[in-house]
Amino acid sequence: MNKFTAFSLVIVLIIFALSTISFSAGKISPGVSLIDTFEEERAKYVRQVLESIKGREKMNADSVFKNIQLFKGTKNFTAEHFLMMMDFGWGKGLGVSCTYCHDPERWESDEKRTKLIGREMYGIRQMVNDKLKTIQGLQSAQPLINCGTCHQGKPIPDKGW
């Protein structure tokens, strides 16, 4: 292969690779946002909650927080882990702040419909992940979905899927 052919092949591969990536503001691929506009706000709430539970961060979440329903009785699921999951999994996955589902004055309250929907959606996530484990021939050894799989940083997923 001469230098011109090799160079041409490299250029074609680069063009192909670049054509698969969206360079829209804040995006590297369709629907995956790089800009998390609520990250700072969520971090503020996480710091406040961590301060309020100081000394109990390593205890099970259901013994520290009120109205834990999804993870009640889960062993070794610490309050600290729960907060990080809420921040990254739900907050970042849906592109929202804590206040989307919670009243910061009463975190345990179920008055916001979005919190109740979130619980139901988590149940759907569990059912899909359980089913994925039974499907033979998938390319992934451990196929899993999470909030970000569909929501991709948006409270309401695009309907294009």
Contact 66, 108 (CB under 8 A): yes
Kindly state whether residues 2 and 61 are assigned to the same domain. Answer: no
**How, if at all, do strands 32-33 and 27-29 pair?**
antiparallel
Task: Judge if 67 and 137 occupy the same domain.
Answer: yes
Tens digit of pLDDT per residue, the chain (161 long)? 555 444 444 343 344 333 333 333 333 344 444 578 999 999 999 999 999 999 999 999 999 999 999 888 888 899 999 999 999 989 999 999 999 999 999 999 999 999 999 999 999 999 999 999 999 988 888 899 999 889 989 999 987 65
Indicate whether 27 and 91 sit together in one domain. Answer: no
The count of structural domains within the chain is 2
Could you tell me if 58 and 135 lie in one domain?
Answer: yes
Residue 54: is it exposed, middle or buried by C-beta count within 10 angstroms (0-12/13-18/19+)?
A: exposed
Do 4 and 40 share a structural domain? no
Domain with residue 83: its CATH number is 1.10.468
* Other CB atoms within 10 Å distance of the CB of residue 152: 19
Measured distance CA(108)–CA(82) in Å, rounded: 14
Question: Could you tell me the residue range of the domain that residue 99 belongs to?
Answer: 36-151
Q: How far apart are CA 116 and CA 68, in angstroms?
A: 12
Strand ranges (DSSP E) for 7-71? 27-29, 32-33
CA separation, residue 86 to residues 25, 43, 56, 107 (Å): 26, 11, 17, 12
22 backbone dihedrals φ, ψ, rounded to 5°? -85, 130
In a domain, 142, yes or no: yes
